[in-house]
């Protein structure tokens, strides 16, 4: 068991293009009633939260990351720490951030003597749902993907009837019915599109249909396609080939395609080949939310816009930052819930018997203590 008198430190993000902040003033207001909170000057500016907002909520503003490290022993941030950030973080600190699936980050933080709580490793259990940053940020990404895609197609999403004639609704296909996919389906439906959802999990079909979309499935779909945690299991070559054929058959009819299929710890499944993009109508678009892990589409390039035969393929890797205020509110709510779980009587407690702490550390705290001594 690791016990430290907790002071929370909020760092300003340094990753290019990152506009979120890990904790908002509203979170500080609740946390400061239990433990001291320090915030790096300007940490929330890109998400439209001022230093004055944080001070009013009960935080102390300090200048520079060094001052945060010197004052706080529980450091929170959004993005995975860079090697430079790890090198200046004092040993023994608890670091809460993304990066739990990055082997280099895991090795570097352990070598530095840090207790890195990798947020991707939040266990999929009921009492950890409020700590799940992947789900909260996927909700925003699914919503934003529809808006982004709609700005790159040659048609409008809803049906419009005017004196000049009637505009037919756009046809939208969402691949993968996880959190991001279901939010994309719901958003496209609300905007008036004719929506289709594709997934290889039987249970996902019911969720797709419950949102008013049409379920598209491969011929081999069965109950055994779902793995632990609700994710789709890896597909065999034959199964993946069948999924690709099924999708390719429907692509010529679609104005907008949003792909969201991912498998934790593995490259994203390739579900749309270049010949699939080639049969999409000119003026259509594809938004690949799996771009960071390799992409679901062969034409995807991370954070680039690719034009193939009149089809626009987009590979955004950080859509939540396009809506930084609400993305930060959700992210901060997850962090606050985690800290409230770990802090007992003003102490940060990492217990070998706490399945949430063990999952986030990917080890028992006592094992890491032994490694650092």
Positions annotated as catalytic residues are 124, 129, 132, 135, 231
Cα radius of gyration (the chain): 22
3-class state of residue 71 by DSSP: helix
Contact in structure between 327 and 49 (CB atoms under 8 Å): no
220 and 241 in contact (C-beta within 8 Å)? no
Per DSSP, what are the bridge partners of residue 349?
3
Query: Tokens for 187?
Result: 């958003």
Backbone φ and ψ for 140, nearest 5 degrees, come out as -70, -40
Q: Where are the beta strands (DSSP E) in the chain?
A: 2-5, 8-10, 37-40, 60-62, 74-76, 94-97, 115-118, 160-162, 165-167, 171-175, 194-198, 214-216, 256-259, 285-288, 305-308, 311-314, 343-344, 347-350
Give the residue ranges of DSSP H helices in 63-112. 65-71, 83-88, 103-112
Output the CA angle 364-365-369, nearest 5 degrees. Answer: 125
């Amino acid at each position: 068991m690791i016990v430290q008198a907790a002071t929370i430190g909020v760092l300003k993000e340094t990753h290019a293009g990152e506009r979120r902040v890990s904790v908002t003033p509203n979170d500080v207001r609740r946390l400061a009633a239990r433990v001291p909170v320090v915030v790096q000057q300007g940490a929330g500016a890109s998400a439209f939260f001022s230093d004055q907002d944080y001070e009013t909520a009960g935080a102390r503003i300090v200048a520079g990351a060094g001052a945060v490290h010197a004052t706080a022993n529980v450091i929170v941030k959004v993005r995975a720490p860079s090697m430079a950030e790890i090198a200046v973080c004092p040993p023994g600190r608890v670091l809460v951030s993304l990066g739990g699936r990055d082997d280099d980050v895991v090795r570097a933080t352990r070598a530095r003597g840090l207790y890195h709580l990798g947020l991707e490793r939040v266990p999929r259990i009921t009492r950890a749902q409020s700590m799940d940053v992947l789900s909260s940020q996927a909700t925003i990404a699914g919503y934003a993907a529809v808006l982004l895609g709609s700005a790159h197609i040659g048609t409008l999403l809803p049906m419009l009837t005017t004196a000049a004639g009637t505009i037919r609704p756009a046809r939208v296909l969402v691949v993968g019915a996880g959190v991001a996919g279901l939010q994309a389906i719901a958003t496209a439906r609300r905007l008036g599109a004719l929506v289709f959802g594709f997934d290889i999990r039987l249970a996902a079909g019911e969720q797709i249909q419950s949102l008013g979309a049409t379920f598209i499935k491969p011929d081999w779909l069965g109950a055994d396609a779902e793995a632990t945690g609700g994710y789709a299991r890896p597909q065999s070559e034959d199964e993946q080939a069948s999924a690709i054929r099924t999708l390719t058959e429907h692509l010529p009819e679609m104005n907008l395609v949003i792909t969201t299929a991912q498998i934790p710890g593995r490259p994203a499944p390739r579900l749309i080949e270049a010949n699939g993009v080639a049969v999409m109508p000119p003026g259509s678009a594809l938004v690949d939310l799996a771009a960071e892990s390799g992409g679901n589409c062969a034409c995807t390039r991370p954070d680039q816009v690719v034009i193939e035969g009149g089809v626009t393929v987009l590979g955004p890797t950080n859509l939540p930052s396009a809506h930084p205020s609400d993305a930060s509110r959700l992210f901060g709510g997850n962090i606050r819930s985690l800290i409230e779980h770990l802090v007992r009587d003003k102490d940060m407690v990492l217990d070998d018997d706490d399945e949430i702490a063990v999952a986030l550390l990917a080890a028992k705290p006592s094992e890491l203590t032994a490694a650092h001594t």
